[in-house]
Structure 1
Amino acid sequence: MAAPAQLQALLKAVNTLLRKRRYHAVLALLKGFRNGAVYGVKIRAPHALVMTFLFRSGRSTCTCCHASCLPCAALAWRRATSLNSGGTHSPCTQR
């Protein structure tokens, strides 16, 4: 079954937008935020739940808070590294 013409036009427009180099930094920020959220939801939150049942401590709220803060930390990290990449960055040459 073929997709409607409007959907194909939308997909083509999105693909051309994603291929433009000037949007690379913004898309990297969005990708970092998304990956941080996925990691927080898939890994950190279930881990906190299991640790709470195993050790019966109240530390799960701290770990769940950490899991929810991961997207913001990833966003901040991507922003800092994208700002740094605009300058003259040379690899370390110490031996």
Structure 2
Amino acid sequence: MSRPEGRHRVGARPALHVTPRSWDQAERATAARLDQVEPGWCVFYGIGLRKFVAIPLWRAPAHLRVEAATVEDLREQMREAELGAMASIGRDRAWVA
């Protein structure tokens, strides 16, 4: 008993054409702009999370990752993290943009 040839065989034509989508373009562009003005942070928009995410590029006292639903909340949390880092390791050793 032989099986019929399937649509995934080598040389088969695709059954339908799926156009790729670019999700959350405005949010990704906003995160890219924020990344440019925040030199001490790596800022991006997590498409799976649907949140803005920032990771410090400076030596943080512990693993630090900040995420928020809006850019305003993210920037506020970034400033709080910077102040917390300065307080925990001292002003002479912390570099914050």
TM-score scaled by length of structure 1: 0.26
Larger relative contact order (CA 8 Å, sep ≥ 6): 1
Greater C-alpha radius of gyration: 2
Q: Identify the structure with the greater helix proportion.
A: 1
